Chains A and B, each alone.
Chain A
Amino acid sequence: MKTYIAQRLGIGLLTLLGMSIVIFGMLRLAPGDIVDILFSTGGYVNPVERVAIEKELGLDRPVWVQYVEWMRQIMTGDLGKSYRYDLPAWEIIRPLIPVTLELAALSLIVSVALGVPFGVISAVRQDTSLDYALRVFSLAGLSMPSFWLGMVIILTLVAWLGWIPPVTYVSPSENFWLHAVQFALPALAVGYRSSALIMRITRSSLLEVMREDYIRTARAKGQSGGIVIWRHALQNAILPVVTVIGIEFAFLIGGLVVTETVFNLPGLARFLVEAILWRDYPIVQNLVMFIAIVVILSNLFVDMLYGFLDPRVRYGN
């Protein structure tokens, strides 16, 4: 087990190294840099001043030197300085992380809470009107982009109630209920879309399992429908669902851009887009690396979970 985790972490480190090269290279390949943006706010460009700013920000150094410097900074726990804000990158990134993690986790809870039971009901009531209704519900979820749904929620609330959730972040310590309201609506908007995917996977996986001999045997032994489904069938059907949940969580960390923008939540996905537009390399590079780490760790966590859910899965050699 320990060897397996060590191996996976080793592969994860190699993946991160590869990612760092890709991120670094792609950012430099994108046209324009922070100096262009700074001049853009001034409405002109002066070549002499341009050279001075490039020197001040260290952009005049060869690209490989900049990369090595970034790696050195990561090793020493120093994430560099934001070009845009002239502040340590970590100081800017740190408050963004809990917002996105919380929204992603809540969205996932919503999606599992809706997706798994609906998937089970849909499978058990296959080809009934209830099954069709739930399939329409899930298809609608897949078809509606969460940002569109978010905007519809906001516009409907303001039109009907003259109210929308707070547009500035309210921390739980400041006002727990307001905080809950602020996160509930975006979590519903995002969670609904994800639940559709989970529901469809749960349904198809469960339908497959329910055709297995051991399910027929359990039924023949006189076990109740509920026990057959929840204890025997679902336990064996859950593996692909867990995989999807893991992938969804990893996707949500970087994929909440528009939802965070629509609900004006100060998360890292929204900030990442801003940083890309500003060519704020230290912020972009470190945020993408953070997302990559979350993806790698969530994948590892899902793989570890297999062992608990299915005793046949063994780790190591």
Chain B
Amino acid sequence: MTRSRSTLLVSVLVLVILAGLGVTLAAAQTPKAGGHLNIMLREDLSPGFAVHESSTISTSFPSMPCFSNLVIFDQGKRPETPDNIVGELAEKWSWQDNFRNLVFFLRKNVKWHDGQPFTSKDVKFTFDMLREAPEATAKLRINPRKDWYANVEAVEAADAHTVVFRLKRPQPGLLNMLASGYTPIYAAHVNPATYRTSCVGTGPFKVKEWRKGEFVDYVKNPDYFVKGRPYLDSLRYVIIKERGTRVAALQAGQLDVSFPGETTKTAAEQLKKAVPQLVITPVAQAVSDNIIMNTKKAPFDNPKVRQAVSYAIDRRALIQAVHQGGAVPGASMQPKPYGVWGLLEKDLASLPGYGKPEDMKARARKLLGEAGITAQNPLRVEMATRAIAIYVDMASFVINELKQVGIEATLKQVETAQWHAMATRGDYQIGANLTGLGVDEPDANYYENYACGSPRNYSQYCSEEVMKMVEQQSQELNPQKRLQMLAALQRKVEEDAARPILDWKLDYFTFWPHVKGLVPHDNIYNFGRMADVWRDK
């Protein structure tokens, strides 16, 4: 009797404790409303909130809370696969006419931050402006992603809450581009130039104040179209130019969240040692280190010389030496598991720069010999790069690699003000470059960086065969078939040394444990809407 009573007592006690634990766990996981977060920014917004006039994360990331897209990569899921695209201003969408028409059914009762109603007119206004359609009612000062919408024939506002994208040919990848952080909807009643100084969006937060060079303050949008969101009352993006101060501010708890792409592997290790409770998530940045070679000028108009350069650079050694292991090898699309379309590790083995280093360098010397370049007659070139540490470190490594095969390269540091102008003009021989992909979508990458005549195709590489492959994969509706076509395309551009990819950088995204609901993606450009983020403190 006594034993059974005490057993009962223990059982009840255990149940009570378990129930209590359950309640505690449930409470810990239940989002709490209210609170404020300080988020790191490394430079001021440029040009303001005008995302469509910019290709830098310093604009897109701090602007994310203000805007909404038609669709977006699920902010709560890390991989950016087509399956993870969710509706934002669009409640649902439908591909019609064999992927030639994309119809969006928009949410009703959505308001702009100035109180005006959101309608299909705003969507038409935005995309007519982006693709520079004749009927566009506004023009952007600069339009870096016009090529993304080259296949859009018309955007029709069928009614106030239905929009139809009519395409020239099927293009399933369009939806990926619409889900990028670079594709917010602008208000038709606001001059696009206004976004350079202020922000009228439909997003979860409203801009309260932008103090130039200091911070951007946001407050909760009470009219946000998702009921119960955002959880936080306010956000502050704090601009800190000095890297050491940024890290110290994060460490001291003055910042709750780091900046995407900010934390290298070494920095993450130091941070974790100093503040063990920090949450550090290794993710891909969707930014590659690559070599641009001017294919219109000697000596890099000779494919053998370009291939020799590509063979000479030991990718794995570069990842260790320059990034201390904080990058992964890959071809022109971000490799798996970070990206959808990239080559597998085993497929990379046959590409230039991935074999045994001595074999690769021997191959490079042979190719150079065939091009008439020998130890007695070395090739002397100027390696241009931006005067920023991450560029210079990579360029210095490459220079050393090239030296080993008989290419004498001298480093030329180019100020940011001149870099893109110089690269677009083709006013260089060879350069060490970084390229960020706004979205893991082959169409965005190949039309931007490899297509004949594209201003961002700095190598001015132009191949009819490659363009045909790009067009074919773009309209392929079967994802498996498209994947195979893309594998062939990636091999082709690497073998041609169109723009040899050296690695894909990783970010060790860091925040304090009281920050909940913030899921970094494998692409620094597409997360940060902050609607589902809450503070557990």
**A residues with CB within 8 A of B:** 31-33, 36-46, 49, 52-53, 56, 84-87, 92, 95, 151, 154-155, 157-159, 162-164, 166-169, 261-264, 266, 270-271, 274, 277-279
Contact = CB atoms under 8 A, between A and B. Distances in A.
Contact of B193 (A42, A86, A279): A86
B213 interface: yes
A42 B53 CA distance: 6
A36 B417 contact: yes
A33 B251 contact: no
B419 interface: yes
Given A42-B143, A270-B213, A270-B241, 9 more contacts: A37-B416, A86-B47, A154-B248, A158-B251, A162-B275, A264-B242, A264-B249, A266-B211, A274-B44
Contact of B241 (A56, A162, A264, A279): A264
A85 B425 CA distance: 27
Interface string B32-64: 000000000000101110000111100100000
Contacts of B54: 41-42
Contact of B418 (A32, A155, A157, A166): A32
Given A158-B252, A162-B251, A162-B252, A168 B214 contact: yes
A43 B193 contact: no
Q: Which 5 A-B pairs have the closest CB atoms?
A: A32-B417, A42-B144, A44-B455, A45-B424, A43-B55
B285 to A, nearest CB: 16
A83 to B, nearest CB: 10
B524 to A, nearest CB: 15
Contacts of B274: 158-159
Nearest to A43: B55
Contact of A262 (B55, B242, B416): B242
B213 A168 contact: no
A40 B254 contact: no
A270 B242 CA distance: 11
Interface in B230-272: 236, 238, 240-242, 244-245, 248-249, 251-255
Nearest to B425: A45
B142 A38 contact: yes
B418 A53 contact: no
Interface of B: 44, 46-48, 53-56, 59, 141-144, 193, 196-197, 211-215, 236, 238, 240-242, 244-245, 248-249, 251-255, 274-275, 415-421, 424-425, 455-456
Nearest to B40: A167
8 contacts: A42-B142, A42-B143, A155-B248, A158-B274, A167-B255, A261-B241, A274-B213, A274-B241
A95 B236 CA distance: 19
Nearest to B249: A167
B80 to A, nearest CB: 20
Nearest to B274: A159
A267 to B, nearest CB: 10
B142 A49 contact: yes
A58 to B, nearest CB: 15
A277 B251 CA distance: 29
Contact of B240 (A33, A157, A167, A271): A167
Contacts of B48: 85-86
Contact of A168 (B46, B144, B215, B253): B215
A264 B240 contact: yes
A261 B420 contact: no
Contacts of B275: 162
A36 B420 contact: yes
Given A39-B142, A85-B48, A163 B252 contact: yes
